[in-house]
Chain A
Amino acid sequence: MSVIWAGIIVLGVFIYVVMDGFDLGVGILFPFYQDRDDRDVMMNTIAPVWDGNETWLVLGGAGLMAAFPVVYSTVLSALYLPIMLMLIGLILRGVAFEFRFKASEHRRHIWDKSFAGGSLLATLMQGVTLGAIMMGLEIRNGVFVGGAFDWFSPFSIFTGCALVVGYVFLGSTWLVMKTEGRLQEQMRKTARVSTALIAGVIAAISLWTPMLHAYIARRWFDQQTFYWFLPVPVLVLACLMLLWRTLGSGRRNGSPFALALCITFLGYSGLVISLMPIIVPPSLTIWAAAAPASSQGFALVGALFIIPIIIGYTAWSYYVFRGKVRHGEHYH
């Protein structure tokens, strides 16, 4: 049962990273596109779907509380400040969707800044949270006993910046798919730059992570399992090269985003391979952190009922809003 719940949370967080990833990325890209109409188009590509994307963050959090309460309480205590800042970032960018289109000409720039700044802050803090969890939390008897700033480390700052690159990467390939003409051409260039950056970031994280904990190095470089996990880095490399060429050719619309999704999936699977079955490094496993089987079972009934519904309406809303977004189309 713990394995099923770990699977649900891993899946929920992955869907969140992918979906809120591209729309936060669009926000971070805002300052690089000054034209008002371009900004309207960029925002309109995500306006119908962004709030649904954040459902998965709530699902991941609620699932964690039901299935692994120790993780919920220790992670949220240890990372209180970054998580609060992330939520404030999400509030600032969320209201910008409503207010920006209604603000008067000379006030609109406030909401542009709140959209871009909020997106950047939320992304940075999510990356810092991930990095801090990877580093490990000091837990004794199921209680976090470290300091309020334990999360602050070179590695977590790096993962914060790395996630910004990752989300810009997803956001720019998303915009290649959703826009056309001059804006799309510019997006292809941005996407190419972010592809080069993400390649560097993936390389750095792949080298740095095994140095954090000996068991991560063993997982990847052990004689017996080395070839099992070798396809992950090989496929990442193949996808990156294919994406670089596709963006250079300037013809395809959807495939850059599809390739970016593949790369995100591979990177995320690398993370899961590194950690499993540990849920909070250095030593808390999913079995040690599990809630009583009766609680896990009770919550599982609800989760298995609601997840297909969420997937259903999400797929439907993407289907309804498929295709290109054009200048002058209004958000109501």
Chain B
Amino acid sequence: MRTADSVSNHDLSHLAVSLALLAFIYLLVFGTGTAMGLRMLATAPRKGESAPEGSPCELNQPVRPLSGSASVPAHH
């Protein structure tokens, strides 16, 4: 079976609209993520900041990339 034989009978306009919608949503989501990442990179280390204590899974340790981007409480 060739690709052309397996095509479903959708309207071109429906496919175009849904593709545009998906492209828009992905740009929005990844754009925001990138902006947050850049903000993270732009934040300089504070003076006298020590390395985080404890293992990566304990409280106040960022465990995902985005967790580091904003107000993680310094000490509990």
Contacts and interface: CB of A to CB of B under 8 A. Distances in A.
A88 interface: yes
B66 A102 contact: yes
Contacts of A144: 8-9
B73 interface: yes
Contacts of B73: 330
A98 B30 CA distance: 12
B74 to A, nearest CB: 12
A148 B14 CA distance: 9
B10 interface: yes
Contact of A332 (B9, B29, B63): B63
Contacts of A104: 70
Contacts of A62: none
B8 A81 contact: no
B10 A77 contact: yes
Contacts of B70: 101-104
B11 interface: yes
A202 interface: no
A99 B36 contact: yes
Contact of A91 (B11, B29, B61, B67): B29
A80 interface: yes
Interface string B31-43: 0110010000000
B64 interface: yes
B25 A84 contact: no
B25 A92 contact: yes
B19 to A, nearest CB: 10
B interface majority secondary structure? loop
A102 B36 contact: yes
A250 B11 CA distance: 54
A98 to B, nearest CB: 5
A95 interface: yes
B66 A84 contact: no
Given A88-B21, A91-B29, A332-B67, A80 B62 contact: no
Contacts of B62: 332
Contacts of A102: 36, 66-67, 69-70
Given A80-B10, A88-B22, 10 more contacts: A77-B10, A95-B32, A98-B66, A99-B32, A102-B36, A102-B70, A103-B70, A148-B14, A332-B62, A332-B63
28 contacts: A77-B8, A77-B9, A80-B10, A80-B14, A80-B18, A81-B14, A81-B18, A84-B22, A88-B21, A92-B25, A95-B32, A95-B33, A98-B64, A99-B32, A99-B33, A102-B67, A102-B70, A143-B9, A144-B9, A145-B9, A148-B10, A148-B11, A330-B59, A330-B73, A332-B60, A332-B61, A332-B62, A332-B63
